[in-house]
Amino acid sequence: MALDQEKLQIRTYYRALFRAWGPQHWWPAQSRFEVIVGAFLTQNTAWTNVEKALANLRAAHVLTVSGIRGISLEELERLIRSAGYFRQKAKHLKLFVEFLDQQYKGSLTKLLARRTEKLREELLSLHGIGPETADSILLYAGNHPVFVVDAYTRRILGRHMALSENTTYEEIRKLFEEALTPIAHSVADSDGDERHHLEAGLRGAAHPPSAMSTAKRTALAQVYNEMHGLIVGVGKNYCRKSQARCDGCPLQKFLPRV
């Protein structure tokens, strides 16, 4: 498939999914730091397991930079156990806070104000942060215009567009960013659409509006935000790893004919 045709197809998918499901309000969180913690915890586990861990941290009043700084490693491991790989993740959260303290005097505002390219390099240099985690922090905590590529994205592209197994994370990210940029000026997340879709019920991967999902951001970041949330909805509900459930999926009509 020619590159321009691939980009057109991605734009078509965005419009079809948004018409069907509306705003997804992904990432559900009340603070930037909660987004960052969630980005670490969601590695190699389901979001339902992350929600349990976040609830434990919130109940213990440690879902803050100072909270993670002050809690013992053993107690942190206990609180996030439901998220899996809890020893690694606890260590990585502690290391992130140490980095924030050493380089930015504990200020998320200073960290996230960095230029996108420089901040991405810095995040990728830290233990426990790969491209998907770094881009989740950039987009959802910092409102930087960076598209997040996850396993759902690769799976959907593979089934719909014959994606090569050798296609890299960066190639997919660039494809989506270039494809979605032209529609950034027509973000459909208006108040009217918001009310209509909330009254119709939450669909896709949608969550009720939260402090972070309604944070002010550029139109480009908003489009990247929505597309990733919509893809999560497809992956969770239809394009499953073991067996696809295509009936009812808004993207079913775009599947290649065998």
Please check whether residues 15 and 77 belong to one and the same domain: no
If asked whether residues 74 and 133 sit together in one domain, one would say: yes
At how many degrees (to 10) do helices 32-41 and 86-104 cross? Answer: 140
Task: Read off the pLDDT of each residue in 100-118 and give the average, rounded to a whole number.
Answer: 98
pLDDT(199) > 50? no
Residue 60's domain comprises: 32-141
Residues above pLDDT 90, as percent of the chain: 84
Find the mean pLDDT for residues 136-163: 94
Residue 86: C-alpha distances to residues 7, 59, 61, 102, 107 (Å): 38, 18, 19, 24, 25
Per-residue model confidence as pLDDT tens digits over 23-38: 999 999 999 999 999 9
User: Does residue 216 sit in the same domain as residue 135?
Assistant: no
Q: What is the CA radius of gyration of the chain?
A: 18
pLDDT digits (tens, 9 = 90+) for 44-73: 999 999 999 999 999 999 999 999 999 999
Q: Is the domain of 152 the same as that of 243?
A: yes
pLDDT in tens, 177-195: 999 999 987 654 444 454 4
Separation between Cα atoms, residue 80 and residue 78, nearest integer Å: 6
| 15: its two tokens | 């419009």
What does pLDDT average to over the chain? 92
- Tell me how crowded residue 240 is: count the other CB atoms within 10 A of its CB: 13
Could you identify the residue written with the tokens 């490693």? 73
Residue 191, sorted as left (phi over 0), alpha (psi -120 to 50) or beta, turns out to be alpha
The tokens of 186 are what?
Answer: 């027509």
Query: Percent of the chain, pLDDT > 70?
Result: 93
At which residue do the structure tokens 């930015």 appear?
104
Residues 167 and 204 in one domain: yes
CA-wise closest residue to 47 among 172, 222, 228, 242: 228
- Say which CATH number the domain at 231 has: 1.10.1670
Identify which of 145, 120, 147 has the alpha carbon closest to the alpha carbon of residue 227.
Answer: 147
Distance, C-alpha 71 to centroid of its chain? 27
- Are 36 and 130 within one domain? yes
Instruction: Tell me what pLDDT residue 202 has.
Output: 78
Domain limit, last residue, from 141, 161, 185: 141
In terms of domains, do 133 and 157 share one?
Answer: no
Residue with tokens 């997340």: 189
pLDDT number for residue 191? 42
Stretch 208-224: mean pLDDT, rounded? 94
At which residue do the structure tokens 């659409």 appear?
193
Number of other residues whose CB lies within 10 A of the CB of residue 239 = 22
Residues 126 and 218 in one domain: no
What is the model's pLDDT at position 73? 98
Q: Predicted confidence band at 206 (pLDDT cuts at 50, 70, 90)?
A: confident
Q: What is the pLDDT of residue 200?
A: 53
Helices (H), 22-136: 32-41, 47-59, 65-70, 73-79, 86-104, 108-112, 116-124, 131-136
Residue 196 has pLDDT above 50, yes or no: no
Cα distances from 48 to residues 41, 43, 53, in angstroms, run 11, 12, 9
To the nearest 10°, report the CA torsion of 206, 209, 211, 214: 90
